[in-house]
Amino acid sequence: MSTANHEIDALIRQKYKHGFVTELESESLPPGLNEDVIRAISAKKGEPEWMLEWRLEAYRHWLEMPEPEWAHVHYPRIDYQDIVYYAAPKSKKDAPKSLEEVDPKLLETYEKLGIPLEERAALAGVAVDAVFDSVSVATTFKDKLGKLGIIFCSFSEAVREHPELVRRYLGSVVPQRDNFFAALNSAVFSDGSFVYVPRGVRCPMELSTYFRINAKSTGQFERTLIVADEGSYVSYLEGCTAPMRDENQLHAAVVELVALDDAEIKYSTVQNWYPGDEEGRGGIYNFVTKRGECRGRGAKISWTQVETGSAITWKYPSCILTGDDSVGEFYSVALTNNRQQADTGTKMVHIGRNTRSTIISKGISAGRGQNAYRGLVKVTKSAEGARNYTQCDSLLMGEKCGAHTFPYIEVKNPTAQVEHEATTSKISEDQLFYCLQRGISTEEAVTMIVNGFCKEVLKELPMEFAVEAQKLLGVSLEGAVG
């Protein structure tokens, strides 16, 4: 096995493929946070007074909130005065009108990442609202979407162009004071995406945003708001990569989804931010609040996530099932290798009658990774006939890693049926042996087994994402068993 071990070691040590820094001049504020910084951010973005007030209100709440410590993750204390809260690519003032006008350096970056924007957009029919650092720089397929009445733009633009929609829905799912990181985001959010799908419209393409953290020690504070009006459908993709860094970078995004009567939102994430080196140095802190509300009867929200990156992942994409007969789904693959830590899961809050939720969570731990599933299924008194099925499986590779399961089940209605199942096992020696015996290499076999383990989640991803996700799992895991 020793030759195999060498190959595997080489694979484990494989450097982060997407690690590089694009030299772009950033127009940044000095590090630090106070009301003046918030005023400056708001002014730079040309925001109306109500938006600034909203930010300041959030900031004042945040000042009084303690930083949470309950998650199963460990990291040095974050100095919030040492973070740059605003950095915009140089080309901000004369924003590009089309792809040709986009800074070539930027496009080059996407090339390196294997995301040829125009090509991919054209071939896959994906409209990309690319977020490079904090300001959206390119939006495609806007016209096509516009004809259907779909609004897909940067958050700043939405604040300017569609203030009535933003005011109506912003903070209605994740209030400013929801939690420490959400409050911080509400105060300083830089930009993000806004989607509104009007009544009865089925969005003809997958909407997609690529987030990318670039300027050194810039926290990213994305704000995403997606509203699906009655009977509409939208599928939204979010994918992330980041350049190699020595310092930890904080990412505290907020994503809010609102689904009205019979509307459906499908939100898919592939997260592949820099996880830090073998010793866990550098790497992104991914402290995200994602929540959707099925506000209308028969609404559906589905979260699918593949989390392979970040030094620390701390996120719980949740569904508030307010509308009768509404449906919430959560499909997750979380992978931790080296010294990565993940504390992720979901909350399903059943309020409406006959609400249903499904949770499928697959955790994979290798190296010294720590992987925790934390989830809440809450059935309130009014949720007649609520149904939940939860399955959490963990796969362990190596004797230094950890896999943890912390489900919370709260049931206040006797007609509810709530089921939770979880298993933890190591990668099967028998399966490995079977593959090896047939001439399949260890790393290929591991990839196959892991992809099989995650199949239920991966099949929920849109096609182009599923391919990327499988590759990601392969790269991150091959050689973890030897």
Query: Which of 396, 454, 457, 477 forms a contact with other proteins (CB under 8 A)?
Result: 396
- State the Cα–Cα distance between residues 289 and 349, nearest whole angstrom: 15
Residue corresponding to tokens 């994906």: 126
Residue number with CB closer to other proteins (175 or 407): 407
Cα 171 to Cα 468: distance, rounded to the nearest angstrom: 32
Please identify which residue in 409, 435, 448, 475 interacts with other proteins, judged by CB under 8 A.
409
Strand segments, DSSP code E, in 155-276 are 193-197, 207-212, 223-228, 233-241, 249-251, 254-259, 264-272
Say how many residues make up the chain.
482
Q: Is 67 an interacting residue with respect to other proteins (CB under 8 A)?
A: no
Q: How far is the CB of 348 from other proteins (least distance, A)?
A: 13
Instruction: Among 281, 423, 455, 459, indicate the residue that binds other proteins (CB under 8 A).
Output: 423
* Pick 243 or 363: Cβ nearer other proteins: 363
Interaction of residue 76 with other proteins, rule CB under 8 A = no
Give me the least distance between CB of 422 and other proteins, in Å please: 5
Neighbouring residues of 315: CB distance < 8 A, sequence distance ≥ 6: 286, 287, 288, 289, 290, 305, 307, 344
Of 53, 161, 247, 419, which one interacts with other proteins (CB under 8 A)? 419
Name the residue nearer to other proteins (CB basis): 32 or 402: 402
Q: Which of 411, 432, 461, 466 binds other proteins (CB under 8 A)?
A: 411
- In the region spanning residues 310 to 339, those forming contacts with other proteins, defined by CB under 8 A, are none
Q: Which single residue is written with the structure tokens 């997606």? A: 226
Per-residue x/- marks for other proteins, 90-129, CB under 8 A? ----------------------------------------
Question: Which ranges of 34-135 would DSSP assign to H, the alpha helix?
Answer: 35-44, 49-64, 104-112, 117-124
**Residue 379 Cβ, how far from other proteins at the closest point, in Å?**
8
* Beta carbons of 277 and 246 less than 8 angstroms apart: no
Distance, CA of 190 to CA of 183 (rounded, Å): 13
Instruction: Supply the minimum distance, in Å, between the C-beta of residue 399 and other proteins.
Output: 5
Is the Cβ of residue 163 or residue 398 nearer to other proteins in the bound state? 398
**DSSP state at residue 29:** P
Which residue from 122, 168, 421, 452 is in contact with other proteins, where contact means CB under 8 A?
Answer: 421
- What distances in angstroms separate CA 24 from CA 48, 109, 191, 209, one per listed residue? 29, 11, 18, 20
404 binds other proteins, rule: CB under 8 A: yes
For other proteins, give the closer residue by CB, 277 or 343: 343
Round to whole Å and give the CA distance between 210 and 457: 21
Name the site residues for other proteins (rule: CB under 8 A): 70, 379, 381, 394, 396-426
